[in-house]
């Protein structure tokens, strides 16, 4: 370090001398005088600074080296002292009589073992924070007693700390290097246990936490000074402690072979993840390992830290074959020398500045005029012709300066005139260059033609877009890009405009060299001369193909159904308008077929919406195959489709009857094709459709009216029986208006109290006793009169009002049941109420019904809930959960209208029903229709086999009653028992029934 400082100073002096000589040879007399004085002063001061700094640095280095040696020995003494003390402790403890007796006696009572374990725990407690375990090994090396019970029974005979002692017959101790066990590395001390004859009978072994080495180092931190650190190496050159970087702890400081590394790992002398290559770091270990230790101080360089020079002290431990290296950067303890050198350099700088100022002041008086004149000459040589020599003197130099000034004035006048002319030409050239670059680098296409249309210039962007080179286009007509898809009128309008001296803008559909078509937004303008006459045409073009494609995609997405690729409602409406306009011109008819698939919802409910979508796509293909290319098939939403038939041939007669027959024939063809089996998700099934037909012009003269009337006819066909069609009639419009009126009044009917209940008795087939009743809702409107449930219940379902209406039914019916139970002998009288799907899937239906039962203090068996088959087909786990909650409340569960849906008795086994209600459509033809009779027999037999009781609904005569009673049907409902009655009438009916029952 000191030699470097001295060398730097000498080098600085030599460099200054060389610079001074160079300056003296190359520059002015004044510079030579200044340089000579500066070199003399610098060299003198540098020699003095070198001598003083060297002496000071030598003294500081000697002191720092002594501190390093002292610190290294202090670290070594601490570890040696630790090893000696603990070895002595263990030797003494191994000589305890209780341990000797424990090993020599053949049988040891359990309490003696416990006593000895407590002694070991007490020995461990003297340094409990760093001792992991105390153990006694027998002479075979088996762990027979250990403060860590997990180690008892372990074979430790393979370890060195046992092997070293097992061959000795005298009391001795052994200290091991670090052993890498899980979870922490340990240092093992062991001592032989001898009997009275001195023969080895066992080993006392203790394991210390290896982190004690780091703790011993931490206690001596700061003994040397800033930047210093210590490294502890074991006999395998493994870093046991690293005072600066903990990540180098337990890494090798020298490389070993793979075989040697495997042996070390087997003996647990290195971590299991250790590598055979040494980990490089400036801790001098490579130099330490090759040192003879003849000198405790080692100097080394490490380029990884910027060629920092370190001093290191090396000391070997006495108790174990370990080595301690303590290092410190020389820059740290030589900082005073550096500070002194900095002060010396500052002083030298100040002295040099003072000398330079004095010399410069003296030479300025002598050489000032010559320098000013020389400066003016140099400025003129550099182009500054306005420079003047401001020298006022009567000598030769003054005369020379005056003549020189006159010459420069004349030259300057001539040059100014020339510069003005050149500047004008340069500005014009710059503007032309900028314009050329702008066109060449423009992101839009540029084309220039002569007045006959021959291309004279194209920019690179046009070539890039069209694929033509500039050479291929020059001399050609722009028609080379013509695709034939742009209307000719577009080109005609363009030429008319530009030949008239006006600009034209428009869109052209052109063709590239490779045949690809592309859209361009083009502006063509005439280029005019000073006489305002056109000399050329300029075309500015922008490729808008991407925008056009995007607009087409947006238009398609807005006009077509994403699932089926059919026109959507918006496009269908537009096509109807166009068809109407054409039909008016041609005096033709148009037919709109509004189609809806029957029971499509069941496909979604049973197979999932994915299957429903696949079905709709499949049917879209069938419908398109049924019509001509110029007819329209559109999807209006959900499973609703529209088919528009135009230009229907009626043999030119205009006969409406002929037109109607053609439309009906086509409709029947569509129904036939739709009903054919189809395969969706590997399942074959058939689906029918209902179609409503509206004809232009008799059924409407605008799209909205025609669609509404076709929709009305379609709903009429569904009510008619499905898989059929209906042609719109004015009477259907009246029905629609009535539906609208009913829907509007339905919303106030509940508030105005227009609803009321009727009850139809449920009779026990064996005893004839009335056991319950079904609640039937009725609506008496002040204007409409009696409104059939078949008309308003579906509307209530669609609007969601069925939930509020249903709650009113529960409240009213259960209140009446309470009265009936109190005023009759039948305490088990119950009411049957139909539960709609909207109610069932509503929020908190179980809580709602429970609250009404609690309100009237009625048990669960006073209520029977009638649930339709269709409700069971969706989300079966949820349905089963709700039904089970009803069962827990004691509520009877009945499946209503069995046989009209899609379930089967085997499917119903999954649900906790009590009652099965046979629909009246099967009972009405008993004795007349053999199929219905056989079907009733099958339903009754299967229901009984499943443990369900049966209600026969719609029983109207004794023949039907006898049929059902004979086959074990438990309950009868229908006009054979009673008609639906209001509350007061039903009370009288119950009383009469009870009187007949008691007297009869």
Q: CATH assignment of 742-999? A: 3.20.20.450
Whole-angstrom Cα distance, residue 427 to residue 434? 11
Q: How confident is the model at residue 115 (pLDDT cuts 50, 70, 90)?
A: confident
Give the pLDDT score at 776. Answer: 96
DSSP string across 150-175: GGTT-B-TTSHHHHHHHT--S--EEE
Phi and psi of 754, rounded to 5°?
A: -85, -10
Task: Give the per-residue pLDDT at 842.
Answer: 77
- How buried is 197 (Cβ within 10 angstroms: 0-12 exposed, 13-18 middle, 19+ buried)? exposed
409-418, 461-470, 747-756, 780-789 — which one is most confidently predicted on average? 461-470
Side-chain half-sphere exposure of 868, counting CA atoms within 13 A? 13
Q: What is the mean pLDDT of the chain?
A: 80
pLDDT over threshold 90, residue 468: yes
pLDDT digits (tens, 9 = 90+) for 234-248: 877 777 777 767 767
Confidence of residue 691 (pLDDT cuts 50, 70, 90): very high
**Residue 688, pLDDT above cutoff 70:** yes
Q: What is the spatial distance between Cα 478 and Cα 457, in angstroms, rounded to a whole number?
A: 11
Taking the C-alpha atoms of residue 187 and residue 206, their distance in angstroms, rounded to an integer, is 8
| Chain centroid offset of residue 582 CA | 54
Rounded to 10 deg, the angle between the 569-586 and 545-559 helix axes is 90
Looking at residue 97, its pLDDT comes to 81
User: Residues 6 or more apart from 120 whose CB is under 8 A from it?
Assistant: 134, 135, 136, 145, 146, 147
Q: Is the pLDDT of residue 538 over 90?
A: yes
pLDDT score recorded for residue 651: 46
Boundaries of CATH 3.30.450.20 in the chain? Answer: 1-383, 443-550
Check pLDDT > 60 for residue 487: yes
Residue 800 tokens, joined: 């969601």
Superfamily of domain 1-383: PAS domain (3.30.450.20)
Give the Cα separation of 728 and 717 in Å (integer): 10
Task: Tell me the CA distances in angstroms from 101 to 98, 174, 196, one per residue in order.
Answer: 5, 23, 10
pTM above 0.85, yes or no: no
Residues 6+ apart with CB under 8 A from 371: 28, 30
Q: Which one has a higher pLDDT value, 152 or 17?
A: 152
| Better-predicted residue by pLDDT, 201 or 3 | 201
Q: What's the pLDDT score for residue 383?
A: 67
Least Cα distance to 57 among 329, 340, 313 occurs for: 340
| Cβ atoms of residues 572 and 632 within 8 Å | yes
d(CA 251, CA 263): 16
Residue 172 and residue 157 in contact, taking contact as beta carbons nearer than 8 Å: no
For the residues 857-865, what does the mean pLDDT come to? 94
Distances (CA, A) of 922 to 720, 773, 796, 861, 956: 19, 21, 28, 28, 12
CB 120 within 8 A of CB 96: no
Higher pLDDT, 548 or 625: 625
- The per-residue pLDDT for range 818-843, each reduced to its tens digit, is 988 887 677 788 999 999 888 888 77
Mean pLDDT, residues 854-875: 86
Average pLDDT value for residue range 903-925? 78
Q: Which range (189-193, 296-300, 963-967, 980-984) has the least confidence? A: 296-300
> How many other CB atoms are found less than 10 A from the CB of residue 980?
17
Q: What integer pLDDT is reported at residue 811 of this predicted model?
A: 96
Closest by alpha carbon to 86, among 281, 290, 247, 319?
319
Q: Which residue has the tokens 């073992």?
A: 113
SS3 728: coil
Rounded percentage of the chain residues whose pLDDT exceeds 90: 30
Most confident of 78-92, 169-183, 464-478: 464-478
pLDDT at 223 over 70: no
Q: How many CB atoms lie within 10 A of CB 721?
A: 10
pLDDT band, very low/low/confident/very high, at 903 (cuts 50, 70, 90): very low
288: confidence class by pLDDT, cuts 50, 70, 90: low
How far, rounded to the nearest angstrom, does the alpha carbon of residue 316 sit from its chain's CA centroid? 60
Q: Are 298 and 290 in contact (CB under 8 A)?
A: no
Axis-axis angle for helices 29-94, 335-381 (nearest 10): 150
Q: What average pLDDT score do residues 180-195 get? A: 84
Residues of the chain with CATH 3.20.20.450: 742-999
pLDDT for res 111? 45
Whether residue 611 contacts residue 685, with contact meaning beta carbons closer than 8 Å, is answered with no
pLDDT surpasses 50 at 199: yes
Per-residue pLDDT of 33-78, as tens digits, reads 667 666 676 667 666 666 766 677 677 777 777 778 888 888 888 8
The answer on pLDDT for 103 being more than 60 is yes
Q: Which residue has the tokens 């429970």?
A: 850
For residues 94-104, give the mean pLDDT.
Answer: 80
Q: How far is 253 from 230, CA to CA, in rounded Å?
A: 14
Highest averaged pLDDT of the listed ranges 240-244, 320-324, 452-456: 452-456
Tell me how far apart the alpha carbons of residues 819 and 251 are, in angstroms, rounded to a whole number.
94
> DSSP for 813-882?
HHHHHHHHHHTSS-TT-EEEEE--HHHHTSTTHHHHHHHHHHHTT--GGGEEEEEEGGGGGS-HHHHHHH
* Residue 961, pLDDT above cutoff 90: yes
Residue 421 reports pLDDT greater than 60: yes
Is residue 724's pLDDT more than 60? yes
pLDDT at residue number 563: 92
Establish whether the linkage from the previous residue to 488 is cis, with ω within 30° of 0.
no
- Is a pLDDT exceeding 80 seen at residue 881? yes
Which position has the higher pLDDT, 298 or 806? 806
CATH for 560-728 (3.30.230.30, 3.40.50.2000, 3.30.70.270, 3.40.50.10210) = 3.30.70.270
CB 153 within 8 A of CB 135: no
Residue 200, pLDDT above cutoff 60: yes
Share of the chain above pLDDT 70, in %: 76
946: pLDDT strictly greater than 90: no
Direct distance between the N- and C-terminal alpha carbons of the chain, in angstroms, rounded to an integer: 134
Name the pLDDT band for 929 (thresholds 50, 70, 90).
confident
Distance CA 81, CA 79 (A): 5
Q: Which of 160-174, 281-295, 477-491, 949-963 has the weakest average pLDDT?
A: 281-295
CATH topology for the 443-550 domain: Beta-Lactamase (3.30.450)
pLDDT of residue 306: 47
Structure-block tokens of residue 815: 């209140």
567-619 pLDDT tens trace: 999 999 999 999 999 999 988 899 999 999 988 877 776 778 888 899 999 99
Give the number of other CB atoms < 10 A from CB of residue 814: 20
Least confident of 394-403, 878-887, 914-923: 394-403
Residue-level pLDDT at 27: 58
Of residues 392, 360, 394, 357, the one with CA closest to residue 373? 392
Q: Residue 467: is its pLDDT beyond 90?
A: yes
Res. 299 pLDDT band, cuts 50 70 90? low
- What confidence tens digit (pLDDT) does each residue in 347-378 have? 767 777 777 777 667 666 656 666 666 776 77
Tokens of 321: 């074959």
Whether residue 763 contacts residue 973, with contact meaning beta carbons closer than 8 Å, is answered with: yes
The answer, yes or no, to whether residue 878 has pLDDT greater than 90, is no
Decide if pLDDT at 411 tops 80: no
The residues near 663 (Cβ < 8 Å, ≥ 6 apart) are: 591, 593, 645, 648, 693, 695
> Which pLDDT does position 663 carry in this prediction?
92
Cβ-count burial of 289 within 10 angstroms (0-12 exposed, 13-18 middle, 19+ buried)?
Answer: middle
């Amino acid at each position: 370090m000191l030699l470097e400082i001295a060398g730097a100073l000498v080098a600085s002096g030599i460099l200054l001398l060389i610079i001074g000589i160079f300056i003296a040879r190359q520059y002015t007399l004044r510079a030579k005088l200044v340089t000579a004085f500066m070199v003399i002063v610098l060299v003198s001061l540098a020699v003095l600074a070198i001598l003083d700094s060297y002496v000071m640095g030598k003294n500081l280095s000697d002191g720092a080296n002594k501190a390093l040696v002292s610190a290294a020995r202090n670290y070594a003494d601490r570890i040696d002292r630790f090893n000696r003390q603990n070895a002595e402790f263990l030797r003494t403890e191994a000589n305890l009589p209780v341990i000797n007796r424990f090993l020599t006696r053949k049988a040891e009572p359990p309490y003696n073992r416990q006593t000895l374990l407590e002694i070991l725990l007490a020995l461990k407690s003297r340094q409990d924070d760093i001792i992991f375990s105390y153990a006694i090994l027998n002479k075979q090396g088996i762990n027979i007693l250990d403060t860590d019970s997990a180690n008892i029974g372990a074979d430790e005979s393979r370890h060195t700390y046992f092997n070293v002692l097992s061959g000795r017959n005298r009391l001795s101790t052994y200290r091991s290097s670090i052993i890498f066990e899980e979870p922490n590395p340990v240092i093992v001390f062991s001592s032989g246990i001898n009997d009275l004859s001195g023969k080895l009978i066992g080993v006392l072994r203790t394991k210390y936490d290896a982190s004690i080495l780091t703790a011993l180092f931490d206690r001596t931190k700061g003994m040397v000074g800033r930047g210093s650190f210590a490294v502890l190496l074991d006999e395998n050159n493994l870093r046991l402690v690293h005072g600066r970087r903990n990540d180098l702890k337990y890494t090798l400081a020298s490389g070993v072979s793979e075989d040697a590394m495997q042996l070390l790992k087997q003996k647990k002398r290195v971590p299991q993840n250790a590598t055979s290559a040494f980990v490089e770091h400036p801790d001098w270990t490579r130099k330490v390992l090759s040192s003879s230790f003849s000198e405790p101080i080692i100097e080394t360089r490490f380029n990884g830290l910027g060629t920092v020079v370190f001093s290191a002290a090396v000391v070997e431990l006495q108790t174990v074959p370990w080595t301690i290296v303590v290092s410190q950067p020389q820059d740290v303890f030589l900082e005073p020398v550096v500070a002194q050198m900095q002060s010396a350099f500052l002083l030298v700088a100040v002295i040099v500045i003072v000398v330079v100022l004095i010399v410069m002041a003296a030479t300025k008086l002598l050489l000032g005029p010559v320098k000013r004149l020389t400066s003016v000459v140099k400025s003129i040589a550099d182009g500054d012709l306005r420079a003047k020599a401001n020298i006022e003197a009567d000598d030769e130099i003054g005369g020379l300066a005056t003549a020189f000034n006159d010459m420069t004035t004349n030259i300057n006048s001539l040059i100014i005139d020339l510069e003005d002319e050149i500047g004008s030409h340069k500005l014009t050239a710059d503007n032309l260059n900028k314009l050329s670059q702008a066109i060449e680098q423009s992101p839009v296409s540029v084309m220039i033609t002569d007045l006959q249309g021959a291309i004279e210039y194209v920019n690179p962007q046009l070539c890039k877009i069209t694929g033509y080179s500039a050479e291929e286009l020059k001399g050609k007509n722009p028609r080379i890009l013509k695709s034939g898809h742009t209307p000719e009128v577009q080109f005609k309008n363009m030429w008319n405009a530009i030949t008239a001296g006006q600009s034209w803008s428009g869109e052209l559909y052109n063709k590239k060299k490779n045949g690809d078509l592309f859209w361009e937004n083009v502006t063509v303008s005439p280029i005019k001369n000073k006489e305002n006459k056109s000399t050329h045409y300029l075309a500015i073009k922008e490729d808008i193909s991407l925008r056009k494609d995007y607009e087409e995609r947006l238009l398609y997405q807005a006009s077509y159904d994403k699932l089926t690729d059919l026109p959507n409602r918006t496009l269908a409406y537009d096509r109807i308008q166009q068809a109407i306009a054409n039909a008016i011109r041609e005096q033709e008819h148009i037919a709109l077929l509004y189609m809806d698939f029957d029971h499509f919802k069941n496909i979604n409910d049973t197979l999932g919406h994915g299957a429903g979508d696949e079905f709709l796509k499949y049917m879209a293909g069938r419908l398109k195959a049924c019509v001509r290319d110029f007819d329209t098939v559109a999807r209006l939403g959900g499973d609703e489709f529209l088919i528009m038939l135009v230009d229907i041939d009626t043999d030119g007669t205009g006969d409406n009857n002929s037109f109607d027959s053609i439309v009906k024939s086509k409709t029947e063809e569509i129904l036939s094709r739709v009903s054919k089996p189809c395969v969706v998700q590997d399942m074959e099934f058939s689906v029918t459709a209902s179609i409503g037909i509206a004809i232009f012009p008799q059924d409407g003269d605008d799209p909205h009216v025609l669609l509404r009337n076709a929709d009305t006819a379609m709903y009429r066909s569904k009510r008619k029986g499905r898989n059929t069609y209906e042609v719109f009639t004015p009477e259907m419009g009246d029905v629609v208006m009535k539906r609208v009126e009913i829907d509007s009044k339905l919303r106030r009917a509940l508030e105005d109290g227009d609803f009321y209940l009727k009850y139809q008795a449920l009779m026990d087939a064996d005893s004839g006793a009335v056991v319950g009743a079904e609640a039937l809702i009725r609506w008496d409107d002040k204007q409409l009169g009696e409104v059939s449930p078949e008309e308003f219940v579906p509307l209530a379902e669609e609007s969601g009002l069925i939930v509020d209406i249903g709650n009113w039914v529960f409240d009213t019916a259960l209140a009446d049941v309470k009265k009936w139970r109190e005023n009759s002998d039948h305490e088990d009288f119950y009411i049957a109420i139909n539960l709609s799907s909207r109610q069932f899937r509503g929020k908190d239906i179980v809580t709602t019904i429970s609250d009404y039962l609690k309100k009237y203090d009625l048990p669960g068996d006073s209520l029977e809930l009638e649930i339709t088959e269709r409700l069971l087909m969706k989300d079966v786990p949820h349905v089963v959960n709700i039904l089970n909650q009803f069962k827990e409340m004691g509520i009877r569960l009945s499946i209503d209208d069995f046989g009209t849906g899609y379930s089967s008795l085997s499917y119903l086994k999954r649900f906790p029903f009590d009652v099965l209600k046979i629909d009246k459509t099967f009972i009405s033809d008993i004795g007349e229709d053999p199929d219905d009779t056989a079907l009733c027999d099958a339903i009754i037999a299967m229901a009984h086999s499943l443990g369900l009781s049966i209600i026969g609904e719609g029983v109207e005569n004794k023949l039907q009653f006898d049929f059902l009673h004979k086959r074990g049907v438990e309950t009868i409902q229908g006009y054979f028992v009673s008609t639906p009655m209001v509350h007061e009438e039903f009370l009288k009916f119950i009383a009469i029934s009870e009187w007949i029952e008691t007297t009869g």
